[in-house]
Amino acid sequence: MGIVAVAVLSVSLLAGCGENGRDTESVRDTVTAENDRTENNTEAGNLSGNPAGTEDTVGTENPSGEEQMAESGNRQLEVRFGDDGEAFMMTLLDNETAEVIAGYVGTSDWRLPIYERDADADYSVLQYYDIPSRYEIPSAPETVTEAKAGDVFYSDPNRIVLFYHDAEISAEYTKIGTFDVTEEFITAVEENPVLEGWGNKIIRISQP
């Protein structure tokens, strides 16, 4: 009987050791897996330029026009007729179109060509400037029958129209701003030189 009891006790101890060995191996496997995941996350974070677990922010460096306007609070834009022209201030209206344009200019100054090729346009009273199509600009056009010197309008799609003399017109525009009209202003508009090697005049718009 004594021999039987010893044999039973030995079998029990061996079984317990086996279970403990399996438990130890299971814990070791779990820790190894967790370490592997941590290393992978760290490497991914280093490759993306962001700390592990954070979202990639590439593509958000250009806020919308509304956000830029809210941040800057500017209600005027600086305009030059030609690269080296004198600066004139355009006072913006309080509407969404003007705000979005100001917001875009806040991210990057605009250097726009002046076109004088439209047979239906009276260039003795107005100029217009095309904005690149990548800029999305909202508008709320109304029928305009009269423009005063210094009035600035947005014409869909993506065109700014400046009147530097009074005019009677019939067009669908969104008014976005005005200039104080002086002799210097009119002269700057009329005598804006053609850019050498380009064949167009230019206008530069920036935040003051």
CA 128 to chain centre: 24
Tell me how far apart the alpha carbons of residues 57 and 205 are, in angstroms, rounded to a whole number: 29
- 182 in Cβ contact with 87 (< 8 Å): no
Which residues constitute the domain of residue 92? 67-206
Tokens of 54: 């954070």
Residues 30 and 126 grouped into a single domain: no
Write down which residue in 24, 46, 61 finishes a domain. 61
Residues 34 and 72 grouped into a single domain: no
Q: Write down the pLDDT at residue 61.
A: 37
Which residues pair with residue 155 across a beta bridge? Answer: 159
pLDDT digit of tens for each residue in the chain (208 aa)? Answer: 444 444 444 434 344 444 444 444 444 444 344 444 334 433 333 322 332 322 222 222 334 444 444 444 448 999 999 999 999 999 999 999 999 999 999 999 999 999 877 888 899 999 999 999 999 999 999 999 999 999 999 999 999 999 999 999 999 999 999 999 999 999 999 999 998 888 889 999 999 9
Tell me how far apart the alpha carbons of residues 80 and 156 are, in angstroms, rounded to a whole number: 23
- Burial label for 63, CB within 10 Å (0-12, 13-18, 19+), is middle
pTM of the predicted protein model: 0.65
- How many domains, in total, are found in the chain? 2
Q: Write down the pLDDT at residue 119.
A: 82
Residues 198 and 129 grouped into a single domain: yes
Tell me how far apart the alpha carbons of residues 90 and 188 are, in angstroms, rounded to a whole number: 14
Residues 35 and 122 grouped into a single domain: no
CA trace torsion 50, 54, 56, 61 (10° rounding): -80
Residues 44 and 83 grouped into a single domain: no
Write down which residue in 14, 39, 61 finishes a domain. 61
Residues 46 and 77 grouped into a single domain: no
Nearest-CA neighbor of 160 among 136, 176, 179? 176
Residues 158 and 197 grouped into a single domain: yes
Q: Write down the pLDDT at residue 188.
A: 97
| CATH number for the domain that contains residue 133 | 2.40.100.20
Residues 183 and 82 grouped into a single domain: yes
Q: Write down the pLDDT at residue 120.
A: 83
Which residues pair with residue 149 across a beta bridge? Answer: none
Write down which residue in 26, 42, 61 finishes a domain. 61
Residues 142 and 46 grouped into a single domain: no
Q: Write down the pLDDT at residue 77.
A: 98
Which residues pair with residue 143 across a beta bridge? Answer: 172
Residues 163 and 114 grouped into a single domain: yes
Residues 104 and 175 grouped into a single domain: yes
